[in-house]
Chains A and B, each alone.
Chain A
Amino acid sequence: MQFLGVLLSAFFAHSLVLSGYGLRQNVALGAKKTHYRWVLLCLYFVEALILGFAGWGFRALAANNAMWTYLTPLFAVLIMSICLGGFALLTKYCFPEAMRNDLSDSYVEIGLNSSLLALVVVLLSYEAGTDAVMLIGSIICLPLGYLAASYATGAVLDRLSVSNTNGPFRFATMPLLLLSIAGLCLGCWMMTF
């Protein structure tokens, strides 16, 4: 039951709140004009998995040497940089041109931001004593839930932006979505009582 609780909270509550933090970068994930967004989703998921397990490793290293407590974010960024560099090369030399042009502006921000968010949450959301099964459940469920939430909020934002391009009152786009996310956070928070 506790395991199920961890999975559900990782999938829904954490992810919904977190998707708000990376809102600006999620637009491409839900944008209608990005035809190959599934590639971004795959990139994010693979990166988040790598970083989730790397975060686990860093935590183990930090138990023996306090240096890793402080240097984990830097090393996480380095791992992400390698992933992104690799993906950029893959895009340039292996992907068809249409796909390359479609993704060119989006994947860097999404890759860097969202996967570090995943790592941070993985690092923060489990206690030192959490058993391995729960941890692996969290590492897999969190990015999946985050992807779903990011896709949804990105799609809503994309549609709102399009429908309000010529609108007289700019409050109706991003701030409105932020208010909706605030409402979701309130709901998640109230469910914890």
Chain B
Amino acid sequence: MEQTKKGFLSSFLDGLYFNNPVLTLFLGLTLAVLATTRFQTALMVGVLTLVILFLTVLIVSLCHSFLNKVGATILSAILSACFATVTMLLLVAYAPKLIDTENEKAIALLTLVPFISTTSLVLIKGQESLEHPLSDNLGDALGSGIGFLLALVLIAFVRELLATGAITFTAIDGTSSTWTAWSGWTLGILSQPFGGFFLVAIFSGIHLAILEAKKQKASVAKEAK
């Protein structure tokens, strides 16, 4: 397959901001809705997805001459499922209290692993790896991964704060500590799927509007010249 070159930095910035996976491309929407009920869950899922995305794109890019489009997607799915499963097995072994399903303060990672395994972010970026050289792919994977992480963390912070009035952290030994911002009124409904869709819509709408405004400003300036 013929490859087009964009450059590492350009690919990085593109993935991070201009084509942010959640806010612009709407990739990994399942995780953006499910993992943002808690700030810490979003942080962990974001970091895990960043690592999985980077490794998957690296391997698919290295194997690009042996793969067609369907093969690249299938390989991405197998690799991301493998990395997610291995991470889960290691967490069960070394940090069981952190993901204990009976502890409501624990991180619900067991439920999220199947979704991380097949997140469209990894599948589509893996498939696109065939079209660009390795340095561009790594820049895009890094930028997209960090962009995904930041978007998740931002949405989760607002969502958890509005839903509970506090941010809860759980340590590896299962003990939790809470930073309370205010008490009294809370919008508990935001912890439902409604809250996820609603906040992703609001943040992506704002992001897209800013991008659009910049684009229009640039075209007006160009016309004036």
20 residue pairs of the A-B complex, CB under 8 angstroms, read A71-B85, A72-B114, A73-B81, A74-B82, A77-B118, A78-B81, A88-B70, A108-B70, A124-B111, A168-B212, A169-B212, A170-B205, A175-B200, A175-B202, A176-B201, A178-B200, A178-B204, A179-B197, A181-B197, A189-B192
> Across the interface, which residues of B come within 8 angstroms of A182, CB to CB?
193-198, 201
The smallest beta-carbon distance between A3 and chain B, in angstroms, is: 25
Residue A116 at the chain B interface, CB threshold 8 Å: yes
A70 with B205, Cβ < 8 A, contacts A22-B30, A85-B74 known: no
A120 close to B (CB within 8 Å):
yes
A73–B85 CB distance below 8 A: yes
**A23 close to B (CB within 8 Å):** yes
Contact A175-B201, Cβ < 8 Å, known A76-B114, A112-B77, A169-B209? yes
**In this assembly, does A81 line the interface, its C-beta being within 8 Å of a C-beta of chain B?**
yes
Please provide the chain B residues from 10 to 35 with a CB less than 8 Å away from any CB of chain A in the complex: 25-27, 29-30, 33-34
Known: A84-B70, A85-B70, A186-B194. 20 other contacts (CB 8 A): A17-B193, A20-B193, A21-B30, A24-B25, A24-B120, A70-B92, A76-B114, A77-B118, A108-B74, A109-B73, A109-B123, A109-B124, A113-B123, A120-B115, A124-B111, A170-B205, A175-B201, A175-B205, A176-B201, A181-B197
A28 contacts the other chain (CB 8 A): no
What B residues does A71 contact at CB under 8 A? 85
| Contact between A174 and B111, CB atoms less than 8 A apart | no
Report the Cα distance A189→B190, complex, angstroms: 12
Count how many chain A residues have C-beta atoms less than 8 Å from C-beta atoms of the other chain. Answer: 46
When C-beta atoms are compared, the residue in chain B nearest to A89 turns out to be: B70
If A24-B29, A178-B200, A179-B201 touch, whether A73 touches B114 (CB-CB below 8 Å) is yes
Cβ-based interface call for B78 (8 A): yes
The tally of CB-CB contacts under 8 A between chains A and B is 135
Asked if B81 and A179 sit within 8 Å, CB to CB, the answer is no
Q: Which residue of B lies closest to A25 (CB)?
A: B120
In the bound complex, how far is the Cα of B113 from the Cα of A123, in angstroms?
13
Confirm or deny: B187 has a beta carbon within 8 angstroms of a beta carbon on chain A. Answer: no
CA distance A96 to B129 in the complex (A): 28
* Nearest opposing residue in chain B for A73, CB measure: B114
Q: How far is the CA of A181 from the CA of B26 in the complex (A)?
A: 14
Q: How far is the CA of A189 from the CA of B208 in the complex (A)?
A: 29
CB 8 Å contact bits of A123-160 with B (1 = contact, 0 = none): 11000000000000000000000000000000000000
Query: What residues of B have a CB within 8 angstroms of the CB of A108 in the complex?
Result: 69-70, 73-74, 123, 127
